[in-house]
Copies of this chain bind each other. A is one copy, B any other.
Amino acid sequence: MCVPGGGAETGPGPLTRASAGGKLLAVLDAFSRDRPALTLSQIARGVGLPVSTAHRLVAELVAWGGLERGPDGRYRIGLRVFELGALAPRGLGLREAALPFMEDLYEVTHENVQLAVRDHDEVVFVERFAARDAVAVLTRVGGRFAMPPTGVGLVLLAHAPPDVQERVLAAPLTRFTAHTVTDPRRLRRLLADVRRTGYAVSDRQVTDDAVSVAAPVTAGDTVVAALSVVVRGSSAAAVRGVTPTVRAAARGISRLLQDE
């Protein structure tokens, strides 16, 4: 996991020398998908600060609205952070431009429809629609995933700066299924295909029964996001059927972003 400035990752100790602002951000970083609710002592331990210091920082964050204390006495991320996050152009801002197109895609396919952006070497999912009977996927809104095996990740990696591509190709590639591409030369060819054809197909690379078809969303000349539909199985017909629809929707969103 790549968490920029993730104080929780640094272990106890060093934060006692960090700036007061840095300590405050480290308290927020202690919260994650896996640890969404924490007691005061868990926070103190997580960020490596005395309980008294953690208490003062938590009180400051609660007063601001960045943390909320539940009836169980544990702290969770507060509504103020959600509200501020809605202003992130690459978060809900992008999502608002994409939403009508994603709703249309969802209505015509009733499959998983996903929108993602690149953050450092990972994808972050900005929006996701899923029918209850659509094939299961491993992603959640606000969640992160490795780039190489996902459809949206292939699109984002194919259009990432060279240093990002080289770093990802040089690192070990995690195997999720028997179909996951773990050979960097094969991945390099896949990325060239994505640039040439204008879309990516991830064939059962994340789970055994799902294929993702993804297309780039651009603002001007820059690829800012990727849109995908994840369908069950791997029939060529299903992929062929969904590809033009995904590409058209991605172009529609790009046109909206262009106009801004």
Contacts and interface: CB of A to CB of B under 8 A. Distances in A.
Interface in A139-182: 140-144
A88 B79 contact: yes
28 contacts: A4-B63, A4-B80, A20-B21, A21-B23, A21-B24, A21-B57, A22-B60, A68-B88, A68-B89, A76-B88, A77-B87, A77-B88, A77-B91, A78-B90, A79-B117, A81-B91, A82-B86, A82-B91, A83-B144, A84-B85, A86-B140, A86-B141, A87-B142, A95-B141, A96-B140, A99-B129, A100-B132, A103-B106
A21 B60 contact: yes
A37 B260 CA distance: 13
Interface of A: 4-5, 19-25, 28, 31-33, 36-37, 57, 60-61, 63-66, 68, 70, 76-93, 95-96, 99-100, 103, 106-107, 117, 119, 124, 126, 129, 131-132, 140-144
Contacts of A28: 84
B68 A5 contact: no
Nearest to A82: B91
Contacts of A23: 21
Contact of A82 (B37, B107, B126, B140): B126
Number of copies of chain A assembled together? 2
Contacts of A61: 25
Nearest to A84: B81
Given A5-B64, A85-B84, A119 B79 contact: yes
A77 B83 contact: no
A100 B130 CA distance: 8
Given A28-B84, A81-B85, A119-B79, A129 B103 contact: yes
B5 A84 contact: no
